[in-house]
Structure 1
Amino acid sequence: MITISTPDPKQAEPVTTSAPKSRRRRIKIILGVTALTLAAAAGGGYLWLNALSDAKDLGVSDCNAVKPEITATPGGAATADDQRAVCQTLRSMKDAWARHDATAYGDQFTKDATYTSYVGTAYQGRRDIAEGHRALFGGFLKGTKLSDSWLGIRFYGPDTAVATSRGDTYEGGEPKAADLSKTQSYTLVRQADGTWRIAAFQNTKRQRVMERISFLFSPDTKPAAEK
């Protein structure tokens, strides 16, 4: 007679789970440390690139101090008086913003002007520009002023000018030119009554780190003023 014995469950060796748990814990710690190291490296790299991204061409605060580029056309050429008139229109726009006077702000634009904000909003016409800024002055832009540093003014004949600047909004103390976060272009035209008005405005947020990365990997993308 064959007797088959079965092990006593009470005497079976217990299953040990501490080793797998310990390994999982070590893996988690290693992954956590790696993630923190990579994050610190990325943060340090970002700060390093940001510190190197100051523009060389910062412009001047006085629009009238800009030496204009003048191109004559069959219709004639612009004069020093035209530059003063263009600068006065730009100054009036800035003053209207400081007063949060949306109507006066819109009056510095032509009736059919185009206005592209840095977030990509496209306004069409003086009324659209004025009403949009009336809402902004009562909301997101309440209490702000404009700061500009002028990069250049180009005249194409006696009736058309393009002004470029670095600019920003601010509250409290006016920022330094190096801290202005946007680049802007204004196309101005002479009206029938002789006044100058803004026909087109383009506002672009300067991506400091992305710009610096572009310059590092493709140096030829640098504009002449930044080389």
Structure 2
Amino acid sequence: MTKDLAHKRPWLFASLLFGLSYPFSWQLALPEYAAIIWKMAGVGLLTGYALRKHHSGEFVLLAAVMAFWALGDGLLELDMVWGAIAFAIGHGVAIALFLRHRRVHPVLSQKLLAIALLLVAPLIAFFLPIDHMWGMQAAVYTLFVAAMASMAWNSNFPRYRVGIGAVAFVISDLLIFARMGPLAEAGWVSLAIWYLYYGGVLMLATGVVTTMVKRGHYSDA
């Protein structure tokens, strides 16, 4: 099965290899640049997965999202503000993608959940860091990722892949801010942050690609 995945979807296989193994790099005495490349590779390789045999339309938008998020992964290791900006740009492109695929008649409960996500996540982020200056910045950034997740949830992509993947991304970011406050001493938080983030992005990317394949926009995922 592993060989089959590596042969048919080499970019996805490589992403899984780097993304799932990245926390193990924390125990290695790697040069800074090597650790950053390893971190960026998990999501960055999903750019190639999106563009493997198709270089237009939604696949380009998805690839741009993956590229900006991967860039954000690297920049966060150097400067949190520039990392947040790269992620925010990626969220903006993702919102554009999901707006192109809005659900025509979402039920009321789904609308309310999307609105709650957009309003509640930034509010939670504001109160998590001990330093109130970081609280405001956390809330502003979370507004972008929450808007992305809200649009993903109300898109016509599968909620149980794309929607939940986007929500996992939001939870991951909230845990980052919680690490600046109530969870500062919790040893499990770093692992949870990474796997919620990478797992969420993986669900989102594969959900979009496989859905577009089924809709006839692409010949092979």
| TM-score above 0.5 | no
Pick 1 or 2: higher relative contact order, CA cutoff 8 A, min separation 6. Answer: 1
TM-score normalised by structure 1 residue count: 0.27
Greater per-residue strand proportion = 1
Greater per-residue helix proportion = 2
Name which one, 1 or 2, has greater alpha-carbon Rg. Answer: 1
TM-score normalised by structure 2 residue count: 0.27
